[in-house]
Amino acid sequence: MPEPESIQDSSRAPQIAVIAGEISGDILGAAIIREIKAREPAARVYGVAGPRMIKAGCEPIDTIDTLSVMGLVEVLKELPRLLRFRRGLIQRFARERPDVVVGIDAPDFNLGVEARLRAQGLRTVHVVSPTVWAWRAGRVKTIARAVDKILCLFPFEPSWYAHHAVSAEYIGHPLADELSDQVSPEDARARLKMDTQGLVVTVMPGSRHGEIRYLAEPFARAANLLHQQFPGIRFITPVAKPSLRTEITEAIRNFAPQCHWQIVDGDSRAAMQAADAVLLASGTATLECLLLGRPMVVAYRASWITNFIMRTLGVLKTRYVSLPNLLCAEPVVPELLQEGADPQNLANHIAPLLLDADARARQLAPFSAVRDSLRCNAGARAAQSILACLPTAQ
């Protein structure tokens, strides 16, 4: 990593180093930095940052693009560069001795950096727990070595860490602070230049090529069945990135050619808000759907060997895979996995959410309690916890 200009000594002001590696980390990091600055205006925050963090007052020594590498082949190709970058980052922070080093998400990179720096006597905080409670629980040993404290987005996580002697605090989820369930389907449809009347199903087969490969066809076939049952029904799919558009378009053309289907670039939240019901792949989007107050059916398919490892060999430790079912007091969202995610089954579970107001209400009712529990001003809580790690706070 090229050595930037050395940082001037300002020992009387708190020195906080941060490392974010993804867009979501940039959003949360910006909220945390704003709150730190509100409490400690003289605090110097610097590190690997995205544009929102920089705008909030972080001095960048590199950008999140440096760590934004997706896919196994891509990671392997970039591994020598990433290792050099990590080594340089560790050397720099070890030399400059910030009061606390904060890793925001990106656990595969950040936990390694945090462990090396903590071993050299620096305080470390990690924001956003990896899903160790769901799979690869053995990672908790690495976390215990790496951090003085981990800040969790979900309320059940600190008690899980307590069993493993890791200091953990709940800060709430930044999406809950950001999203509202008060936008009507009609307003969202108008924003997307759609007819505001009639039934709309938002179809989201995933944001990765692997998800699209397994789910685009059954989702399109399910839409075709719903089209036969509900003449005039419309479908909308937000495309996370342009490279996915071709695969999705081909699935619609081959398996649902008669359906009225709109594809939009990005704007997944407006697409969900426009819906009477949402059919989507398991993932963070299910939490967004809950927070936006839309009923959903969740599906997931993977290769047989992945399914065998996760289910048969017991790598997956939770009974449910979708965040709404993990967060609600009782599971309320249909989860259709592997062979269960066939077109007829998908259509059969979506239809009641379109026909039956009581079915919609039963699913939506528990969402408000989850929303309230997650809406905690995550940025403020995280900032308070990080500042409590400063030497002057001891």
Q: Read off the pLDDT band of 121 (50, 70, 90).
A: very high
Q: What is the mean pLDDT of residues 315-319?
A: 55
239 token code pair: 């495309």
* Residue 2 in this model has a pLDDT that exceeds 50: no
Q: Which residues contact 74 (CB under 8 A, 6 or more apart)?
A: none
Q: What is the mean pLDDT of residues 4-21?
A: 69
pLDDT score of 77: 67
Q: What is the mean pLDDT of residues 59-81?
A: 68
pLDDT score of 210: 78
Could you say which architecture CATH assigns to the domain 185-374?
3-Layer(aba) Sandwich (3.40)
CATH class belonging to 15-172+376-393: alpha beta
Mean pLDDT of the chain: 88
Q: Read off the pLDDT band of 126 (50, 70, 90).
A: very high
Angle 53-285-64 (CA atoms, 0-180°, nearest 5)? 25
Q: Which residues contact 121 (CB under 8 A, 6 or more apart)?
A: none
Angle 140-145-151 (CA atoms, 0-180°, nearest 5)? 65
347 C-beta neighbours (distance < 10 Å), count: 22
AA letter at 60: P
pLDDT score of 307: 52
pLDDT score of 131: 83
Angle 116-119-122 (CA atoms, 0-180°, nearest 5)? 90
* Residue 369 in this model has a pLDDT that exceeds 60: yes
CA atoms of 142 and 132, how far apart (whole Å): 11
Specify the range with the lowest mean pLDDT, choosing from 78-82, 139-143, 148-152.
78-82
Do domains 15-172+376-393 and 185-374 share one topology? The answer is yes
The proportion of the chain whose per-residue pLDDT surpasses 70, expressed as a percent, equals 88
Q: Which residue has the higher pLDDT, 7 or 35?
A: 35
283 token code pair: 């993932």
> Are 91 and 2 contacting, i.e. CB atoms less than 8 angstroms apart?
no
Cα dist. 109→34, 82, 134, 168, 183 in Å? 24, 9, 20, 20, 37
Q: Which residue has the higher pLDDT, 134 or 11?
A: 134
pLDDT score of 165: 92
Specify the range with the lowest mean pLDDT, choosing from 81-95, 314-328, 369-383.
314-328
Question: What backbone torsions phi and psi does residue 196 show, to the nearest 5 degrees?
Answer: -80, -10
* Residue 364 in this model has a pLDDT that exceeds 60: yes
Question: What backbone torsions phi and psi does residue 271 show, to the nearest 5 degrees?
Answer: -65, -40
* Residue 168 in this model has a pLDDT that exceeds 60: yes
Q: Read off the pLDDT band of 305 (50, 70, 90).
A: low
Strands 260-265 and 149-152: unpaired
In the chain, domain spans: 15-172+376-393, 185-374
Q: Read off the pLDDT band of 72 (50, 70, 90).
A: very low
> Are 44 and 126 contacting, i.e. CB atoms less than 8 angstroms apart?
no
* Residue 104 in this model has a pLDDT that exceeds 60: yes
Q: Read off the pLDDT band of 8 (50, 70, 90).
A: very low
pLDDT score of 320: 64
> Are 261 and 223 contacting, i.e. CB atoms less than 8 angstroms apart?
yes
Specify the range with the lowest mean pLDDT, choosing from 85-89, 143-147, 304-308, 362-366.
304-308
